[in-house]
Amino acid sequence: MESDKTSVDILKNIAKRAGWEINIKEETINSRHGHRTRNVVIRNYEVRDSYFISAQTSNFDKYRVYSGIFFPVSGYDNYKLLIRKRDQLDKFSFRKNRLRFKIGNSSFDSKVHVDTNNDIDTHKLLSSSKIQLEIIEYLNTADRLYVGFNEINPDFNKDLEGKKFLSVFMAMGWMLDRKQIDKAYKLGDRLRSKFN
C-alpha cells in the first residue's frame, strides 16, 4: 500500500527510478523513547558536486529534521545567508522591516525575507530578476522552504566534513516529491554558478 511507505522508502524509489546513488544510515539513540537518527544521502551525478540530503538528527533545534540539495562552495567561509518566504510577523514588525536587507525590487522584497551578513555579496547573488522570480516560485511551492548559505553544514559522513554549503532545503520535513526535488536542484545549481 502506498500509505504504508516510509519517507526512506519513498526516497529509495525516487533514487531508483532516477538512477541516483543512495546511502542510508539509521541509528537508534534511545530505544525506550523511540529516538533515532536517519541520514539519507543521494548523489545525482548529472548535477556536479551536489548532494540531496535528508536528515533526522538528535539535535533539538529548528533543523532537527531537514531535506534538500546541498552544494559545497569554497572561499566563502564567513558568508551567511538565509532566504525564506515573508510571513505575517515580518509584515507587522515595522522596525525590523525598515532595517532588513532589501534587493531594491519591491515585488521580490515584499514576498521574501533575507538575512545576511554581507549585503554586497548578497546583492551580487540576487541581482538577476530571473533568479529573484525563481526563488519566489520555489518558496511558494510548499511551506518551510529556504535557501541558505552556511545555514546547515551537514557533516555526518566523511564526504561532507569541513565543507560550507549553499543549500536549497525544507526544514522540519523531508522533500518527498520528485518535482520539488528537481526544482531545488535547478535553483541551487543556478545560484551556485554565481559563486564560481
> pLDDT for 33-66, tens place per residue?
556 789 999 999 999 999 999 999 877 788 899 9
Band of residue 2 on the pLDDT scale cut at 50, 70, 90: very low
Domain boundaries, the chain: 2-193
Pairing assessment for the beta strands 145-149 and 112-116 based on DSSP bridges: unpaired
- Residue 1: the pLDDT is 36
Better-predicted residue by pLDDT, 2 or 117: 117
Most confident of 2-6, 86-90, 91-95: 86-90
Question: Does residue 3 carry a pLDDT above 60?
Answer: no
Is a pLDDT exceeding 90 seen at residue 129?
yes
CA distance 175 to 73: 22
Residue-level pLDDT at 93: 66
Give yes or no for a contact between 172 and 144, defined as CB atoms under 8 angstroms apart.
Answer: yes
| Residue 98 scores a pLDDT above 80 | no
183 CB-side CA count, 13 A: 22
Detail the DSSP E strand segments found in 5-143: 21-30, 35-43, 51-56, 65-72, 81-85, 112-116
Q: Do 103 and 128 contact (CB within 8 A), yes or no?
A: no
191: part of which helix (H) or strand (E)?
helix 178-193
**188 class by beta-carbon count within 10 Å (0-12 exposed, 13-18 middle, 19+ buried):** buried
Nearest-angstrom CA–CA distance, 111 and 150: 22
pLDDT score for 74: 86
Chain mean pLDDT for the chain: 88
pLDDT of 166 > 60? The answer is yes
What is residue 81's three-state secondary structure? strand
